[in-house]
Structures are given as structure tokens and as C-alpha cells.
Copies of this chain bind each other. A is one copy, B any other.
Amino acid sequence: MEKKLKRMATMHKLQVKGLELFYQNGYYNTSVDDILKSLSLSKGAFYYHFQSKEDFFISIIQSLIVRKVYSTLIEPIEGKENPFLVIDKCFENSLETAEHNEMDYGFILGNFLTEFNRRNETISKYLTDIYKVWEVNLVTILQKGKSDGFVDRHVDSEGVATYLISSYMGVRTLMVQGNCKNLKYNYLQQLRRYFNSLRLKETV
């Protein structure tokens, strides 16, 4: 029964290193050989476990990228109370992690969306699906925030979700260039200002 374990271990090693290099250098700028070399594995190993480079990347999306986005951007928000507080905290944590990560190459989902947009429909589909779950999740918490008296009822939840995702993706792209600390600070300040405009005003 240890064969299955070995299989899983090798596949997982390939996926983790693959994601690392794809994330750092981009998909088209990373060869299968690059991954194999840094793991001291052979072509035989790779094509025994995966049908193609594309198939390999799809498996990475499904097993690693989905999990990453869920754990950092979706689960911290799900089912919570005050949308403003929890989204604020979630974004702040994510930006904080990025800031102190020497190996930050941007928002993983955003980078790959950009790289595959209109260039590989199959992969784009998988990535877009993750984005959509994120969006639905934000819309849900905002709607709940209305019932709970946090969010102004006149606010368009979908619009807010779009605006939040857009700004987050953008600032993550900018942060790679450096000056992260300032960018993070500025971004969060304005995010809070924006949130204030959505808040349910006390009727005097």
C-alpha cells in the first residue's frame, strides 16, 4: 500500500514546485524541464502522472490555487457578522502577508487570469470559476449585512463586490513593484473611506 503514498507524494511535490515556478516566472516562461530539474526528477516521472503541461496546470488550479484563494479570501469572510470589519481585516491580512513576503509576485489568481485571458479558454474557465465564487461570497455577506443593519439598503451589493475585487487585484499588481508599505496603507485608508459611504447612517 505504500505505492499509492509514493504516487501521491511525487504528484504533490511536482504540483507544489510547479506552482512556485509558474507563479514566479509565468506559465509560458516556465518549462517542464525547469520544474523537473529543481526536483531532480525525469520526464518519465512527469508524463507518468500528468498527460500534458496544460493538464498539469489544471490539476494545480484544482488542488492548490482553489485552496489558497479559499483559505485567504473566502473562508475568513464566510458567515461572519459586520461585512466592513471582516472584509477590512481580511484584505489587511492578505496585504500584510504580501508585504512581508520576499517572494511576492502578485495576486496569484489575478496574475494567471491576466496571463491566460483569451489565450487559453480552458484554463481561463477554471480561474474565472474561482473568481465567481469569491464574488458570490462577497455579495452574500453584503446582503446579510443589510438585514443585520450594517449596510445601507440602497447599496448595490454586486457593484460593491466588483469594486472591491477590482481594487484588490489592482493594488496587488502594483505592490510587486515595491513601495508596498505605502501602497498598502494608502489602499486600506481609502477602502475604509469607501466603506463609510456604504454604511447605514443613523436616522437622527
Contact = CB atoms under 8 A, between A and B. Distances in A.
Contacts of A28: 26, 28-29
Contacts of A160: 190
Contact of A167 (B114, B131, B167): B167
B117 A115 contact: no
Number of identical monomers bound together in the oligomeric complex: 2
Contacts of A158: 182, 186
Contacts of A113: 173-174, 176-177
On chain A, which size bracket covers the interface? 35 or more
B189 A156 contact: yes
Given A119-B25, A197-B197, A124 B170 contact: no
Contacts of A47: none
Interface in A23-65: 24-26, 28-29
Q: Which among A24, A162, A168 has the highest number of chain B CB atoms within 10 Å?
A: A162
A82 to B, nearest CB: 19
* Nearest 8 CB-CB pairings of A with B: A166-B170, A170-B170, A169-B170, A163-B190, A159-B186, A166-B171, A167-B167, A197-B197
Given A114-B173, A117-B176, A159-B187, 6 more contacts: A26-B26, A28-B29, A106-B114, A113-B176, A128-B177, A163-B187
